[in-house]
Structure 1
Amino acid sequence: MIARLFLLFALFTAALPAYAAGGIVTAADPRAAEAGREMLRAGGSATDAAMAIMLALSVVEPQSSGIGGGGLLVHHDGRTGAIATVDGREAAPAAATPDRFMQDGRPMPFASAFPGGKSVGVPGNIRLMAEAHRQWGRLPWAKLFEPAIRLAEGGYKVTPRMSQFAGYVAPLWKDFPGIAAIYARDDGKAPPVGTLIRNPALAKLLRDVAAGGPDAFYGGRNGQAIVDAVSKAPVNPVPLTLADLAAYRAKERPALCGAYRGYRVCGMGPPSSGTTTILQMLGMLERFDMAALGKDSPEAWHLIGEAMQLAYADRDTWLGDTDFVSVPLQGLIDRDYLARRSALIAPDHARGTYEPGVPPGAEPRTAAVSGEVSGTTHFVAVDGDGDVVTMTSTVEGPFGSQLVASGMVLNNELTDFTFAPEKDGAPVANRVEPGKRPLSSMSPTIVYGPDGKVVLAIGSAGGKRIIMHVMKALVGVLDWKLPAADAIALPNIFFGGGALQVEQGSALDAMRPALARFGQPVVAADLPSKLNAIERIGDGWRGAADPRSEGVVLAE
């Protein structure tokens, strides 16, 4: 009963948008959002607030994100209008060869690959944080750690979502005493809602990095703890060295932008596939009058489904880490190319087969699907000067690799690589290679209006579905003129097994017979999401959090 009341309260408060004339934050956990607001009230920038949120989530949302993983950040400068992105995606260590996830000549089952050392990439969030703070931070570095340290030392209570995710993986914890010691009950089971969790080892790590900077994370006793956790893992131990950690750098990369109905939609380029795939879908839909069709039209959702499946076919073929493979990035969002892809969409029937195209500048390549799972978190912050930060952070699956080092959960991001390094005799773009960053669906996004001002900052959790969660919200705001909160609440849609998947119990579920008449099987599926957004309202801002999540919006 207590768990149900907590969840109902969280859903109710998450659905309430907040307005602010000054700063505002939105995050997937109320305690992390409060950490961001604390920084704004102390005179911090949007970056300071976002980094405090990221650190706090490392404590209270270990099932989804943290400093043992990585993230992607998009920043808008409220004074100059400049947009920048920072890539803190995890990297494969030097020992990670293309056959890392092959076994007896075949790809390993995912369930065998993700637990333990083999799946762990070099964490990127602390280097990302240092780069972002160097450029846009105002408060002292150490101050950003204060809320997270308080939570780790004083303790926090398990939420319904954390308990649920722990339940998925707790059976594995008998082989992982480190994580069991922090989160499991005495009988080894997942902690129930309301359990008080203290993590003094993580608090010590946070204090070390607050005092010593990133080098205290990637070197010394904390760096060695990461090395030992991976190389001496009870399951799938593999080499990881201090040299791997020392070599890691967060990378500032050019923002990727495209036009849609007078708006400018911007986000991350590779190793993220998010913005590229979103811009492809928007480009394919632009010839259709989505506004006239409206959110209650089966045809509108049919068109979204067709564009989705064509864009994902391109995603799985052409996208990867541009430091290692040639990606025809501009060709994929070329307007003429997208017009040809759009011509494949019929408004009255499903195509049925969805092959990748050949964009301008593409080299021969074969498609191969990667295996992201639906973990991750997203948060957005705006300060009084109009700086905007939208960031997605992740450890990949529930509790990542199930390994901990210095109290932090280590990611399983390397399972985002395509396990088979070749297909049809050709190398796969997203295969494992030393130093490479796996393809991601994280989609932190900023939208500019025709006047050049930010109108929306958004992102989501959800594995490969992240792209579609953000996409449907963008159509909701830009085409259907919905408030961000209502756009986020729109039904989720995806695909798989030759069928269109629609969110169980939603308006799309009720629309299944009408959608099926377009000629593609339609099934109801559990498609949870965890969107957070901030939109401009006049001279101020209004935030929104997914009603499916425990997220909240807090005004400064």
Structure 2
Amino acid sequence: MGQGFSLGKLRGRSPFLAIVLAVIFLPTPPAPAQTISQRGMVTAAQPAAAKVGRDILKAGGNAVDAAVATAFMISVVEPYAAGIGGGGFALVYHASSQTIHALDFRERAPLQATPTMYLNEKGEVMPRASLDGVLAAGTPGTVAGLAALHQRYGQLPWSQVVAPAIQAAQQGFAVTPRYQQWATMRQAVLQQDTTAARIFLRDSQVPPLGTIIQQSELAKTLGAIARDPRSFYQGWIATAIADFMAQQGGKITPEDLRTYTPVWREPICGTYRGFQVCSMPPPSSGGVALVQMLNLWQLLPPARTLKERGHYLASVMQIAYADRARYLGDSDFVPVPVAALTHPRYAQQRVVEILPRRVRPQAAVSAATPLQLAESDNTSHLNVVDAQGNAVSLTFTINGPFGAGVVVPQTGILLNNEMDDFAIAPNQPNLFGVVGIQSDNAPLANGIEPGKRPLSSMSPTIVLKDNRLNMVLGSPGGSRIITTVLQLFLNVVDLGQDAATAVARPRIHQQWVPDTLFVEPTIPRAWIQAWQQWGYRVEQTRPWGNASLIRVLDQGQLEGAADPRGEGAAIGW
């Protein structure tokens, strides 16, 4: 087996992570009402964005047209979570061919990036260098990704699907409680950037509820993109980004932008109780971890109680996240043993480690050795299903709230801080507490390299039954995305819950490091006490995630739900 890993090697959990956990997780409201439709459905993290997607469907657009329009709208009305200054992943189900395709438009490390760029002369990590300011930004991929989706599958004119976002940027949107919470957390960083402070704050303070946030410069940028998306990478927008980087000491150059391309990849798929579950391949860890956890789950004995079910869930999470830390990265740069990790024989090898009513300490759960394998993670999510049965599951991000906290002047582009998703040093936790571990003298699988894409937890997921669409789901939430998607799926398939109940149900999370079982506040106290007796260190936090789900019912109707933890909506027609 691989070597155990000691928590003593970690620095303490970052204050930034503690603030994230304290601020992001809003109390869970009651489950939303069911949304049922006949001809199409859109779920998104903001109602205005879901409405735009619905309107595109009504105008004759397909699921991809609606997803692209919704994503551009999210870039305007949810600036703290996702935007054209970031990147993401998308899964597309093509109904006529009954096939699923995966698009990777993840940000890339600048070509001038180095493995030690966030270390000082003593080899110590420089605080916040990978989180705040231009040095934290990777080359954005969102515009290229949305353009690639539309070029392959779109029906409506490109300019038509971008137009609603342009209008929204000009007219503005009203500040919500969620906006205030994120802006409060990042206020000090936003204050340091003149352009960001002017747009997102008022007199350097968090705006009152209902304040209208107008983004005229972003509207101009979106107008240029509507005419030609290549302008982001080779036109005046690219020049503005590169010039700003050069002035501020960043690393993104004209060559980074000119050479950026999204990548079509094969999705990772597994089977569970007759369902085919497909999600993203590396550089997402979502597909591998999700299939690995389902493989383990179906080998376990039936849980006799719900608290025992929670123990088994935490156990499969722990194993998958241990493997994530060691093996997963950008498969264009490092060998990732995808086939081995997702093979049922590997699950049979690991499931014997799961003990009934007893937790295995973190140091005792490590990644299996390569020889044994050879034998056999702030974000926004949207879902769309159209009348023809085509579907899109899309997750995109600028990473932390308000990304790097800097806006490129004259463009309105809020830059990502995606470089923090790399393992900037062995055993060094990122924003979400996730680490990369190193074996012997092998390079870090998720270490920084020029042009490399950082490992992600984003897990847009599509589920088929008999090759026909059954579910479309996903969530933001950093490293908790994967376990949220797992629980949503199992809530529907194992517990027989409808979409709204499945999305609202309380969640747990275990990610190997830290050696803690995180639980939402509505988890019964008796369960927590039982888990503690079985050896768990349990930490109760506020609710997390902002998931959404669309189900295709037996009669062909669409059932959708958006997470009551957020401000989103499911809108059909």
Is the TM-score greater than 0.5?
Answer: yes
Aligned residues: 529
Cα contact 2:107–2:453 (8 A) shared by 1: yes
Superposition deviation, residue 289 in structure 1: 4.5
Q: Secondary structure at the match of 1:108?
A: coil
Superposition deviation, residue 527 in structure 1: 4.1
1:545 and 2:548 aligned: no
Q: 1:227 to 1:361 in 2, by over 3 A?
A: farther
Output the CA distance in 1 between the equivalents of 2:424 and 2:532.
34
Q: Secondary structure at the match of 2:453?
A: coil
The amino acid that maps onto 1:334 is H
Output the CA distance in 1 between the equivalents of 2:368 and 2:175.
46
Output the CA distance in 2 between the equivalents of 1:117 and 1:473.
36
Q: Which residue number in structure 2 is paired with residue 382 of structure 1?
A: 385
Aligned-residue CA RMSD (Å) = 2.0
Q: 1:427 to 1:498 in 2, by over 3 A?
A: same
Output the CA distance in 2 between the equivalents of 1:544 and 1:109.
42
Between 53-62 and 506-515, the greater mean CA deviation after superposition = 506-515
Output the CA distance in 1 between the equivalents of 2:563 and 2:526.
21
Q: Which residue number in structure 1 is paired with residue 275 of structure 2?
A: 263
Superposition deviation, residue 107 in structure 1: 4.6
Cα contact 2:118–2:424 (8 A) shared by 1: yes
Superposition deviation, residue 271 in structure 1: 0.3
1:62 and 2:79 aligned: yes
Q: Secondary structure at the match of 1:172?
A: helix
Q: Secondary structure at the match of 2:566?
A: coil
Q: Which residue number in structure 2 is paired with residue 399 of structure 1?
A: 402
Cα contact 1:310–1:354 (8 A) shared by 2: yes
Output the CA distance in 1 between the equivalents of 2:276 and 2:307.
27
Cα contact 2:119–2:126 (8 A) shared by 1: no
Q: Which residue number in structure 1 is paired with residue 111 of structure 2?
A: 94
The amino acid that maps onto 2:417 is N
Candidates 52, 68, 73, aligned match of 1:35: 52
Output the CA distance in 1 between the equivalents of 2:525 and 2:449.
42
The amino acid that maps onto 1:76 is Y
Between 534-543 and 520-529, the greater mean CA deviation after superposition = 520-529
Unpaired stretches in structure 2, ≥5 consecutive residues: 1-24, 427-436
Candidates 291, 300, 306, aligned match of 1:288: 300
Output the CA distance in 2 between the equivalents of 1:508 and 1:270.
36
Cα contact 2:190–2:406 (8 A) shared by 1: no
The amino acid that maps onto 2:419 is L
Output the CA distance in 2 between the equivalents of 1:507 and 1:114.
32
**% identical aligned pairs:** 39
Candidates 200, 206, 210, aligned match of 1:194: 210
The amino acid that maps onto 1:392 is T
Output the CA distance in 2 between the equivalents of 1:104 and 1:332.
38
Between 453-462 and 483-492, the greater mean CA deviation after superposition = 483-492
Superposition deviation, residue 510 in structure 1: 5.1
The amino acid that maps onto 1:385 is Q
Candidates 337, 340, 344, aligned match of 2:346: 337
The amino acid that maps onto 1:411 is N
Q: Secondary structure at the match of 1:431?
A: coil
Scaled by the length of structure 1, the TM-score of the pair is 0.92
String of CA shifts for 1:212-246, please: whole Å, max 9, x gaps: 2x21111222111211333323xxx2232111101
Output the CA distance in 2 between the equivalents of 1:121 and 1:330.
29
Cα contact 1:328–1:360 (8 A) shared by 2: no
Cα contact 1:317–1:429 (8 A) shared by 2: yes
1:431 and 2:447 aligned: yes
Superposition deviation, residue 526 in structure 1: 2.7
The amino acid that maps onto 1:53 is T
Output the CA distance in 1 between the equivalents of 2:330 and 2:371.
18
String of CA shifts for 1:400-424, please: whole Å, max 9, x gaps: 0111121021111111000016845
Cα contact 1:86–1:128 (8 A) shared by 2: yes
The amino acid that maps onto 1:447 is V
Unpaired stretches in structure 1, ≥5 consecutive residues: 1-6, 364-371
Output the CA distance in 2 between the equivalents of 1:110 and 1:45.
46
Cα contact 1:305–1:493 (8 A) shared by 2: yes
1:122 and 2:122 aligned: no
